[in-house]
Structure 1
Amino acid sequence: MIKLVSLIFSLLIFSSAANSNTLLIVGDSLSAGYKIPVEESWPVLLPEQLSAQNQKIDVINASISGDTSGNGLARLPGLLATHQPDYVLVELGANDGLRGFSPTIISKNLKTIIETIKAQNAKPILMQIRVPTNYGKRYGQAFADIYPALSEQADIPLMPFYLEQVITKPEWMQNDGLHPNVKAQSWIAEFIATELGKIIK
């Protein structure tokens, strides 16, 4: 009887592990919880939101404030080797855009990031990023176009840019006008969880 109970318990643990996925988030300050307590940032709140949608996903947040697409690319091989994720959410490019980097360079970095993730048998998910309107219509459009183009070329999901819905609510934004505050984090986590639910089955 004891052996039978032990066997059932072992099978339950195996089943739970087999049904879980690991999501690695590689991003910048928009995912790193810039100037807010880490425990209140949306990546930390995300597993609970996913669980509410009956999804068991372990979330590893490897985002660093200030990172460019080039920084993310440099760190990526080590992150993939260490965490061996099933999915990688790429939230990069905002700092490239704010520094006026060439869209060609940004696109090349992101393309290499996507290829590197695929080469490790993980599934990339790209988040759309946009730059503020004061960077000019021409640059802003060229920058924004990078993401759907890469999504189509690589045949990977493109997640909407959550900040577009947050920035319209001043009470959800920090004084710099670029980063969400603590009040926005639960909504962002729910938004991300909903979008992931369309991707991760």
Structure 2
Amino acid sequence: MQAGLLRWVAACLLALPVLAQAQATAAAAAAPGTQKTMLIMGDSLSAGYGMSAAQSWVGLLEQRLQREAPDWRVVNGSISGETTAGGASRIVQAVVRERPAVVVIALGANDGLRGLPLADARRNLARMIGASQHVGAQVLLVGMRMPPNLGTDYTAGFEANYRLLAETFDVPLLPFLLEPIATDRVNFQDDNLHPTVEAQAKILDHVWPALQPLLRARR
């Protein structure tokens, strides 16, 4: 574990009483429900940029759960343009409000496109994982990959960030959200960044096997 991540973990431990108090307050105020919640924290790739929410892979996931696991509901907390810093700033409020059983963290693409220092992205994602685990949620970390225009060291380090975090926090990792569609231009909209409506089912089929063990664990 790198020194910067160690320092973050220590700071997070000191902040846990504040999160625990907020969690207890929310739990006392909320009525018990029968559905379990899956919270998706992503960017435009998960928010359904250029299409209706129901057409996105997250929307298709919600439809699949309605058919195959109706005791689950999906809360899509994804925002177009979101960064790991934005996700880190929202995570505590989101997990306290939703009390998720599973949190899917699919952020980092916008950080990479802007050349954010790798240590900053790592700390932000660590905060999100730590906050999710503290409220008892299982976490699926979803990685991204960057083109080599920022240099091979940055590209390799960007990908390694996700592996390090998955190992540190003992969470499953889906290394690359766009793995099944990335090499075919036809799968992308005119901006060559955002997948088409037709590609969303392929993305869901890629994510689904990584989600299934987490769903079974919470039954």
TM over 0.5: yes
C-alpha distance after superposition, 1:40-63 (max 9, x if no partner) = 111111033345655742111010
Q: Give SS of 1:174's match.
A: coil
Measure the CA separation in 2 of the matches of 1:125 and 1:113.
Answer: 11
Whole-angstrom CA distance in 2 between matches of 1:172 and 1:57: 29
Aligned partner of 1:7 in structure 2 is: none
**In structure 2, how many angstroms separate the alpha carbons of the residues matched to 1:142 and 1:24?**
27
| More deviation, 36-45/130-139 | 130-139
Q: Which of 191-200 and 111-120 deviates more?
A: 191-200
Instruction: Tell me if 1:128 matches 2:151.
Output: no
Superposition map of 1:83-102 within 5 A: 83-102=98-117
Q: In 2, distance between residues paired with 1:159 and 1:108? A: 19
Equivalent pairs: percent with the same residue? 37
1:143 aligns with 2:163: no
Could you say what secondary structure the match of 1:200 adopts? helix
- Aligned pair count reads 184
Greater radius of gyration (CA): 1
More displaced stretch, 90-99 vs 52-61: 52-61
- How far, CA to CA, are the matches of 1:140 and 1:102 in structure 2? 11
RMSD between superposed Cα atoms in Å: 1.8
Match of 2:183 among 147, 168, 190: 168
Q: Which residue matches 1:8?
A: none
Q: Secondary structure at the match of 2:139?
A: strand
Distance 1:45 1:148 in 2: 27
Structure 2: how far apart are the matches of 1:37 and 1:55?
Answer: 22
**How far did 1:64 drift?**
0.3
Cα distance in 1 between the residues matched to 2:159 and 2:153: 10
Tell me if structure 2 keeps the 8 A contact 1:117–1:124: yes
* Residue 115 (structure 1) aligned to one of 122, 130, 151: 130
Mapped contact 2:58–2:204 kept (Cα < 8 A): yes
Letter in 2 for 1:88: V
Say which of 188, 195, 199 aligns to 1:184. 199
SS at match of 1:24: strand
After superposition, residues 17-166 of structure 1 pair within 5 angstroms as 17=34, 20-50=35-65, 56-166=71-181
* Structure 1 residues 97-129: Cα deviation after superposition (integer angstroms, max 9, x where no partner): 110011011111111111111112212211111
Counterpart secondary structure, 1:165:
coil
Bigger Cα displacement from structure 2, 47-56 vs 159-168: 47-56
1:91/1:109 CA distance change after superposition, 3 Å: same
Gaps of 5+ in 1: 1-15
Match of 1:152, SS state, is: helix
What's 1:11 paired with? none
Structure-2 separation of matches of 1:71 and 1:100: 16
Q: Secondary structure at the match of 2:38?
A: strand
Runs of 5+ unmatched residues, structure 2? 1-32
Once the two structures are overlaid, the 10-residue window that deviates more, 136-145 or 154-163, is 154-163
